[in-house]
A = this chain, B = another copy of it.
Amino acid sequence: MALNAKVKWIEGLQFVGESGTGHAIIMDGDAQFGGQDTGMRPMELLLVGVGGCSGMDVISILKKKKQNVTSIEINVKGEKAESYPKKFTEINIEYIISGKDLSEDAVKRAIELSMDKYCSVKATIEGAAKINYSYKIINS
């Protein structure tokens, strides 16, 4: 199965990215590299993408398990190599999952299934970056 995107230069380091599903995003660079910070850095898209990908897995699995989830926040931190091409070498993902009477086993298993089996973004970037994760459960 194929996915598509088109990226067009606007000005400076500002680019618009259009996805095959019809959505668009602005990317831009830091001022120190000639950009104007009008949009995300491309490397930030990888961190947002791995969080979104895994978040979709986790909420889908927890709903199937009839868990009463009220909030999911995922903090993603990526460490870049010092030398070019400055790829991500390590990515740390912290899940903060809130709900009512959440089963710790169910939450732990949902995250494991995403990380070990389902998350396409994680599987694409883990060739370069070691992926670590942790979680907090907040029951109210």
Residues of A at under 8 Å CB distance from B?
1-9, 13, 15, 17-21, 23, 25-27, 29-30, 33-35, 37, 39-53, 55-56, 59-60, 69, 71-80, 82, 84-88, 117-129
Contact = CB atoms under 8 A, between A and B. Distances in A.
- Integer count of this chain's copies in the complex: 2
A17 B48 contact: yes
B21 A85 contact: no
A60 B35 CA distance: 10
Contact of A60 (B33, B51, B128): B33
A9 B78 contact: no
Contact of A2 (B3, B79, B127): B79
A50 to B, nearest CB: 7
A8 B37 CA distance: 22
Contacts of A8: 71-74
A5 B76 contact: yes
